[in-house]
Structure 1
Amino acid sequence: MKKLVLLFVLATVTLVSCNKDDENEAPIEGSWELSGYGYIIEGNEIIAGNGGGAPGCPKYFFEIKSNRQLYRYNSFHDGQGCYTEVTQGTWERDGKTFTTNYSGNIGIGTILELNNSTLKLRYIDINTNYYIFNVYSRK
């Protein structure tokens, strides 16, 4: 579970907002729910899972605000019920690079796809040196 949370944290680091080079992209601001994640090995995408979250609990999602604030919502099950942990951070975008900062934990990712319904981010897993991707659906 900790690896999944780490993947999610690293992925949210790679989010973006519109700039002049990305005129055809949808705005990054909004709520995004994790719908899939996996690895890119030798150019091939390998799906490792879907929306995450503990069974019976809400999926992981995050909110990107126009004021550069970022809120990450991770759901867990403690044996008695679901609870959600909310983490506040900040974000910046420079072209296809999306950077997040959660209390000094900085993540840097690349936007692979951004439209009105989908956000796909790629980053490097520092433990394996594999590319990891997360796919989000707009809520």
Structure 2
Amino acid sequence: MKKITLLFVSALALGMVFTSCNKDDDSSSSSSASIEGKWKYSKEGAIVSGQEVLTDYLNEAPQCGNDYIEILAGGTAKDVYYYNDGGCLSDVGTGTWSKSGNIMTVTFDGVAENAEILTLDSTTLKVKYTDNGMEMVNVYTRM
């Protein structure tokens, strides 16, 4: 479930490439930075009683590299997870995305999910989505 959620969030982030804000927007999201590029998983958590509760993201095999999402032009994204099974290996997922406003829909393995982009700047991408009735938050740092 964690992998599907992370894949969803990865593809969700891709949609911010085409987001635009004007000076009258009250939201914290920003489109001044490009979403294209590599974003390593930084923090993850949930919204509990209206408050974000985030913890550092733990890579399964940090000696192999940081798990990351790569947001590519043309509506595709890659989600890369490293693991150590007698050597450094990676699991790479690819998906598609679309965006309407600040809501992005991503599809991995035939499963479509929606997420809201909360922050996008030159170093940080933050998204919120619902998983099993809970509001979840993921934070990424540009690599």
Of the structure 1 ranges 18-27 and 65-74, higher mean CA displacement relative to structure 2 is found in 18-27
- Tell me the TM-score normalized by structure 1: 0.84
Offset of residue 46 of structure 1: 1.1
Offset of residue 13 of structure 1: 4.1
- 2:11, 2:71 within 8 Å by CA — same for their partners in 1? no
Equivalent in the alignment of 1:48: 55
- 1:122, 1:134 within 8 Å by CA — same for their partners in 2? yes
Offset of residue 91 of structure 1: 1.5
Q: Deviations over 1:41-100 (max 9, x none)?
A: 11111123325333423221111111111111111122x122101111111222211221
- 1:117, 1:138 within 8 Å by CA — same for their partners in 2? yes
RMSD, matched Cα: 2.0
Q: Check 1:121–1:21 CA distance in 2 against 1; reply closer, same or farther (3 A cut).
A: same
Give the SS at the match of 2:9: helix
Matched, 1:11 2:9: yes
Q: Check 1:22–1:101 CA distance in 2 against 1; reply closer, same or farther (3 A cut).
A: farther
Give the SS at the match of 1:21: coil
Q: 2:18 corresponds to which letter in structure 1?
A: C
Of the structure 1 ranges 4-13 and 25-34, higher mean CA displacement relative to structure 2 is found in 4-13
Equivalent in 101, 122, 130 of residue 107 of structure 2: 101
Distance in structure 2 (CA, Å) of the matches to 1:39 and 1:27: 26
- Structure 1 residue runs of 4 or more that deviate by more than 4 Å after TM superposition: none
Distance in structure 2 (CA, Å) of the matches to 1:54 and 1:73: 12
- 1:11, 1:133 within 8 Å by CA — same for their partners in 2? no
Written as runs of structure 1 = structure 2, the 5 A alignment for 1:16-35 is 16-21=16-21, 24-25=30-31, 26-35=33-42
Q: Deviations over 1:88-137 (max 9, x none)?
A: 111122221122112312121000100011000110112xx111111001
Offset of residue 10 of structure 1: 3.2
Offset of residue 7 of structure 1: 3.2
Identity %: 28
- Tell me the TM-score normalized by structure 2: 0.82
- 2:10, 2:71 within 8 Å by CA — same for their partners in 1? no
- 1:123, 1:133 within 8 Å by CA — same for their partners in 2? yes
